[in-house]
Structure 1
Amino acid sequence: MRKYSIIIPVYNRPDELTELLECLVQQTFKNFEVIIIEDGSKIKCEKVVQSFKDRLEIYYFYKENGGQGFARNYGFERAKGDYFILFDSDALIEANYLEIVQNRLNTQFVDVYGGPDTDHPSFAPIQKAISYSMTSVFTTGGIRGKKSNLGGTFHPRSFNMGLSRKVWEQTSGFQISRMGEDIIFSITALRLGFKSALLPEAFIYHKRRTDFGAFFRQLRFFGRARINIARFYPNELKLVHTFPLFFTLGCISIPFLWLIHPWLFYAGIAFLALYKLLIFIDATRQSGSLKVGFLSIIAAFVQLFGYGIGFLQEGWKRLFESKTHRETGTAIEYPS
């Protein structure tokens, strides 16, 4: 029977880890180990891990802070399983998650998979709004967790990713510690001939941020990361990735449209009003909450502005650096 190694890098989040480990205790499929990599945390989770020793096959390792990509590599090197699963520490999963993965790999094996993320009913309204924004057709085009990504060239994200031991052995793990490290890893695996797939049923509940300031900083980081991915794989920078930048520039330019012609100004205002209305209606319909609908408007603008500014910031930097430069990032708090 296939054995799984669940690898979780942790940085100053012992409380979140407790909730995820409780989910793992409840798994209906039991043949797995859990590897916790404490990546230089000041607030350590060792006592949390110890409290689960009698309920899980769990191992704790501490290393100097080097970023989440290298923390995962550290876990790969110590894993005993046939198949590795990566979670962020701020995830929650259903009791049948591993059973779903096992059944899928038994019937249609893939060397790399990714699962979608969503919000949990217990999440705060702002978390639900941020979750909506990160998956909405009005902000991301709905490409995260899309059915068309079921097989072939899907790029799994490390908050919910699985890979065979063979993939790790041939890729040598993550090339960099942060700044799009998971997408770079996925692309590398695909170019080595491995197949990937989205497993829609293997979803997680992703807590994300709890305030818009942190969400803005996270999305600015994601915008920068998209440029960094292009440093490794230039052809992976698509037109769709520029939408947040042009949206941001368009919003900023609306007041100046008056100087060209008042009707252009009014058209810009009308567009934004319609855009907000569509988000409000869709988010309210999905969540059943007017408050979440209203907060989703704010979340969408924070997301697009954050990503757009980060994209511009790193893209401008890219114009004046050597084309062979590779941004490996520095060890900082995890952005996820």
Structure 2
Amino acid sequence: MASLALIAFAYIFTFETIMYLICSVRHYTNSFYGKYDGDAFVSIIIPCYNEELTLSNCVESMVSQTYDKYEIIIVDDGSKDRTLEVARSFLRYKNVVVLTKPNGGKASALNFGTKHSKGSILVCVDADSIFLSDTLSKLLKPFSDPKTAAVAGNVKVVNRKKVLLKNQALEYIIGLNLHRRMFTNLNCVPVIPGAIGAFRKDVVLEVGGYSLDTVVEDMDITMAISKRGYKIEYTGEAIAYTEAPESYKDFYKQRYRWTYGTFEIVNKYKNILFSYKSGKELGIVGLPFTVYTLFMNIALLFIFLYLVIRVAFYGNSPYLLTLLSTMLVMQNILIMYTILIDHEDKRLYFYWPFHIVLYRQIICLVTLNAFIDYIRGKKTSWNKINRLGKNELDLPDL
């Protein structure tokens, strides 16, 4: 029975990998947008809470954009450090606005910034993100299509000195960005990242702004927009670099929030699961795949433990060798392909053994922990991680 289950799993895993490749290749070959020919005024909103170490580099990258019709709105969400002081130092730029409010969370800060914005397009950015000089102009390209309501950019890890950080860089390349290429091709992007996302302001207002219902406000607003049948795009050309957690404690906290919040999203939008009524691609493909991924991560943890115990106590067997070989081949194809199309550092490829054998199991363990806590009704918060001010782009060291 166990043999049949593992073989079935191998077939599912192979089919999933093939779908990733087919859809992402189609998106990659058909997503070279022309130059944005609109003249929309853009409001870049940067919510921040205790971000004195990262905010300066973030804003410096924003004021150097080649697209020149924009304002920068920095929203201090009741910080207890020097964040507000750092923000006000940028008032020397005429297109910078600094707002402050009592602490209410990232979603409330984004809504506050939206309320005071002048632009017809909102670009929401984390305070630890940094843009290349042409990122904004490339992020706007998909808006050449009037049907496009929102655009997700390409998030990359900037600090990569440690093994944990290199594996997070791989995860962003393989998982997050490859997923978005696939989902864009299927017209059901489930999340626009907080590090770099653009929205038509009227659509954001239509869905009621950012929701405080979940701890993943970026995924929540994406679902709300997609549910209404709006078109959401992903562009790999628009790049933002983000500071990844450097300690395992902060890494676990961040991934726990992401996973716990995804369970909240599934519960909140369960009424459209397998539904054709609104945002049919989201209900038929996007949300079911999100559920599948969550529980597949839990299954992967137990399958991995079973395989280790099986080999340790009972030795190898032909079907086990076939299963492991299939998984390794598929994972290597994905890693090589995604590094190639993302024009990434090819040295990251040599970290795949650690990524597959250990890193992925940590992610699976986080998923299991978040699932148990969610079922038990244990609440979580944003769990802010420690920032070190590593959001400095140093390309030769990438």
TM-score, normalization by structure 2: 0.69
For 1:189, the equivalent position in structure 2 comes to 225
**In the aligned structure 1, how far is the partner of 2:199 from the partner of 2:53?**
27
2:261 counterpart SS class: helix
Compared CA separation, residues 332 and 263, structure 1 to 2 (3 A):
closer
Number of paired residues? 325
**In the aligned structure 1, how far is the partner of 2:252 from the partner of 2:322?**
23
For 1:55, the equivalent position in structure 2 comes to 93
Compared CA separation, residues 8 and 180, structure 1 to 2 (3 A):
same
Q: Do the aligned partners of 1:152 and 1:196 also contact (CA within 8 Å) in 2?
A: yes
Q: Do the aligned partners of 2:66 and 2:137 also contact (CA within 8 Å) in 1?
A: yes
Q: Find the partner of 1:143 among 165, 178, 185.
A: 178
Counterpart check, 1:68 vs 2:106: yes
**In the aligned structure 1, how far is the partner of 2:339 from the partner of 2:196?**
27
CA deviations over 1:40-83 (Å, ceiling 9, x no partner)? 32223122222222225222223333322222112112212111
Task: Letter of the 1:24 partner, please give it.
Answer: M
1:209 counterpart SS class: coil
Greater Cα shift, 35-44 or 2-11? 35-44
**In the aligned structure 1, how far is the partner of 2:187 from the partner of 2:228?**
13
Compared CA separation, residues 206 and 268, structure 1 to 2 (3 A):
farther
Q: Do the aligned partners of 1:7 and 1:35 also contact (CA within 8 Å) in 2?
A: yes
Q: CA deviation at 1:109?
A: 5.2
CA deviations over 1:204-257 (Å, ceiling 9, x no partner)? 122222234422332222222221111112222432332322222223334432
Compared CA separation, residues 5 and 150, structure 1 to 2 (3 A):
farther
Q: Do the aligned partners of 2:142 and 2:151 also contact (CA within 8 Å) in 1?
A: no
Q: Find the partner of 1:39 among 61, 77, 81.
A: 77
The structure that is helix-richer by fraction is: 2
1:199 counterpart SS class: strand
Counterpart check, 1:244 vs 2:292: no
Q: Do the aligned partners of 2:42 and 2:121 also contact (CA within 8 Å) in 1?
A: yes
Compared CA separation, residues 335 and 309, structure 1 to 2 (3 A):
farther
Compared CA separation, residues 271 and 104, structure 1 to 2 (3 A):
closer
Compared CA separation, residues 162 and 142, structure 1 to 2 (3 A):
closer
List alignment gaps of at least 5 residues for structure 1. Answer: 322-326
Q: Do the aligned partners of 2:254 and 2:383 also contact (CA within 8 Å) in 1?
A: no
For 2:117, the equivalent position in structure 1 comes to 79
CA deviations over 1:105-140 (Å, ceiling 9, x no partner)? 2455522111111245x753543431112322xxx3
* Equivalences for residues 1-336 of structure 1 within 5 A: 1-106=39-144, 108=146, 110-120=148-158, 123-126=160-163, 127-136=165-174, 140=175, 143-146=178-181, 149=184, 152-155=187-190, 156-176=192-212, 178-234=214-270, 235=273, 236=287, 237-257=290-310, 261-263=314-316, 267=320, 271=324, 275=328, 278=332, 282=336, 287-289=345-347, 292-293=348-349, 297-298=353-354, 303-319=359-375, 329-330=380-381, 332-333=383-384
Q: Do the aligned partners of 2:147 and 2:230 also contact (CA within 8 Å) in 1?
A: no
Q: Do the aligned partners of 2:74 and 2:97 also contact (CA within 8 Å) in 1?
A: yes
For 1:324, the equivalent position in structure 2 comes to none
* Identical counterparts, % of pairs: 17
**In the aligned structure 1, how far is the partner of 2:171 from the partner of 2:209?**
30
Greater Cα shift, 27-36 or 148-157? 148-157
**In the aligned structure 2, how far is the partner of 1:301 from the partner of 1:259?**
16
**In the aligned structure 2, how far is the partner of 1:145 from the partner of 1:96?**
21
List alignment gaps of at least 5 residues for structure 2. Answer: 1-38, 274-286, 388-398
Q: Do the aligned partners of 1:151 and 1:197 also contact (CA within 8 Å) in 2?
A: no
Compared CA separation, residues 72 and 34, structure 1 to 2 (3 A):
same
CA deviations over 1:77-115 (Å, ceiling 9, x no partner)? 221211111111121111112222344424555221111
**In the aligned structure 1, how far is the partner of 2:108 from the partner of 2:176?**
31
Compared CA separation, residues 268 and 128, structure 1 to 2 (3 A):
same
Q: CA deviation at 1:166?
A: 0.9
**In the aligned structure 1, how far is the partner of 2:335 from the partner of 2:156?**
19
- CA RMSD in angstroms comes to 3.6
Q: CA deviation at 1:287?
A: 2.4
Task: Letter of the 2:178 partner, please give it.
Answer: I
**In the aligned structure 1, how far is the partner of 2:232 from the partner of 2:62?**
24
Compared CA separation, residues 172 and 274, structure 1 to 2 (3 A):
closer
Compared CA separation, residues 95 and 262, structure 1 to 2 (3 A):
same
